Amino acid sequence: MNEQQALLAFAALSQQTRLNVLRALVVAGPEGMAAGEIADMASVSPSNISFHLKELERSGLIAVRRSSRSMFYSARFDALGSLVEFLVKDCCSGHPNICAAFSKASISTT
């Protein structure tokens, strides 16, 4: 992930609804959720959720697929991993204990 992609991702996640949607999509797993289900979960209108989903898709953090007349959205775990990697890429520069603590935290949350 380059800096521009990271900035797009952080911009998308700097809004509460989008952050909550992404977290719900992570929990939903690879099968994702239908747009209407996401709107209900987020307690927003279909047009409002459409705006937020478009921003998350533009950032590269989610993917969309059509199934019949429904749109399903899912987290892009590869992009999320790249974002985390971008954040910690240089963390061990002379401080391996920092990376060890990070590794333990990321393992305990998976």
Q: What pLDDT digit, counting tens, does each position of 79-89 carry? A: 999 998 888 77
Q: Decide if 42 contacts 21 (C-beta within 8 A).
A: yes
Q: How far apart are CA 88 and CA 84, in angstroms?
A: 6
- How would you classify the pairing of strands 70-75 and 33-34? antiparallel
**In this predicted model, what pLDDT tens digit does every residue of 1-17 receive, in sequence order?**
999 999 999 999 999 99
SS3 at position 88: helix
Q: Does the reported pTM lie above 0.75?
A: yes
SS3 at position 75: strand
